[in-house]
Amino acid sequence: MTGAAGFAALAALAMGLASACQHHATGQVDHRAFLHPGLVLALGRRPWWLAGTTASVTGLGLQVAALTAGSIVVVQTVLVSCLAWTLLGECLFARVLPTRRAVSGIALVGAGLVGVLLALRPTVAPRVLVPPGGAVALVVVGCAAVAATGLLIAARNTGRTRVLALAVTAGTGYGLTAALLKIVGEELQGGWTGPLGHPALYAAVVVGGAAVLLSQNTLQSGRRAAPAIAVMMAVDPAVGLVTGVSWFGEQLTTTPVALLGALAATAAMVVGLTLAHPADHDDAPRPRAPAPATTNTAA
C-alpha cells in the first residue's frame, strides 16, 4: 500500500504541473467551438502544452504503476494532492502569490477526501482480472448518464456553470479510465502483450481520450485551472470508490462512526470547493489570443 501511495504522489506532482502548463497554453490559442477537436490540434503547436502533455503521460504511467500496486480508492484519493501543484504552477506563470481563499479551499478539498479515505479505510481484495459483468454495466451506464447531463448543461450555459459541468464530466471520464487502467495494469503482470487482448485497454484509450478533450475545454473555459481541477479531483475518486467496491471487491469500513466521519469529510470537501471556485466575474471566458499584427504598406 505504501508503494501505491508513493507512486500516486509522484503521479499527482506530474499531473498537477501538467494541468498548469496546459492551462497556460490554452490562453495562447483562439477559442474554438464547444468541444471542437481543433482545439487540441492548435494546442499541439504550443511548447507549454507539449511540455504539459509530456508531464501528463509521465503521470499516467506512474498512475498505472500505483493502481497495479494497491487500492484504486487510495490511489485516486492521493492524486487529489495534484491540486496544490496546479495552484503553484499557475502562480508561477502569473508571477503572483496564491490567495488565502484559494489555498484554504484546496486544502479543505484535500483534507475532506483524505478524511473520507481514513474513515472508510479501504482494503485491497485478491487480484481480480474480470469484474462482475452486472457491476461493470451499472457503473458504465451511471457514468454515461452523468457525462450526458454534464455535456447538456455545458452546451446550454457559459461561464462558471459551463466550467463546473465540463469539470464534472471530465472527472467522471478520468475516474472510469482509472478503473480500466487498473485492469490493464493487472494484465501487464502476465506480460507486455497481455493487455492487447483485453477490451479494457481500448476502452481506456477511448474514454481517456474523451476526458482529455473535455479537460482542455474546461481549462480554456475558465480563467483559473485550480478550481476546475478541484472539481475533477472530487469526482474522480468518487468514481474510484464505486468501482473499487463493485469491480475489484475492495472492502470499506461501514460502521456508524466511520460513516459519520466520511459524511463530515464530504461536507468539508463541499465547503472547500465553494472557497476554491472563483467569483462569477473571474470565471468568464478567457479573452481570445491576440491576432497577429498587420503592417500597413499603403503609400
pLDDT in tens, 174-184: 999 999 998 88
Looking at the domain assignment, is residue 298 inside a domain? no
Give the model's pLDDT for residue 195.
Answer: 84
Give the model's pLDDT for residue 190.
Answer: 77
Distance of CA 61 to the CA centre of its chain: 15
Looking at the domain assignment, is residue 297 inside a domain? no
Which residues are paired to 251 by β-bridges?
A: 123
Give the model's pLDDT for residue 129.
Answer: 58
Looking at the domain assignment, is residue 294 inside a domain? no
Looking at the domain assignment, is residue 235 inside a domain? yes
Looking at the domain assignment, is residue 199 inside a domain? yes
Looking at the domain assignment, is residue 168 inside a domain? yes
User: For residue 117, which of 275, 5, 229 has the smallest C-alpha distance?
Assistant: 5
Give the model's pLDDT for residue 127.
Answer: 62
Give the model's pLDDT for residue 269.
Answer: 81
Neighbours of 38 (CB within 10 A): 11
Write out the three cell numbers for 99.
490567495
Looking at the domain assignment, is residue 290 inside a domain? no
Give the model's pLDDT for residue 100.
Answer: 86
Give the model's pLDDT for residue 157.
Answer: 87
- Name, in order, each residue with C-beta under 8 angstroms of 172's C-beta and a sequence gap of 6 or more: 143, 146, 147, 150, 235, 236, 239
User: For residue 26, which of 296, 299, 286, 291 has the smallest C-alpha distance?
Assistant: 286
Using CA atoms, how far apart are residues 232 and 86, in angstroms rounded to an integer?
A: 12
Using CA atoms, how far apart are residues 297 and 89, in angstroms rounded to an integer?
A: 42
- Cβ distance 90 to 20 under 8 Å? yes
Give the model's pLDDT for residue 1.
Answer: 56
Per the structure, the count of domains in the chain is 1
Give the model's pLDDT for residue 223.
Answer: 67
- What is this structure's pTM? 0.75
126-155 per-position pLDDT tens digit: 665 567 888 899 999 999 999 999 999 998
Looking at the domain assignment, is residue 259 inside a domain? yes
User: For residue 245, which of 118, 79, 121, 82 has the smallest C-alpha distance?
Assistant: 121
- Cβ distance 233 to 85 under 8 Å? no
Residues of the chain with pLDDT under 70: 1, 30-37, 125-130, 222-223, 226, 276-299
Domain region containing 181: 2-32+42-283
- Cβ distance 73 to 244 under 8 Å? yes
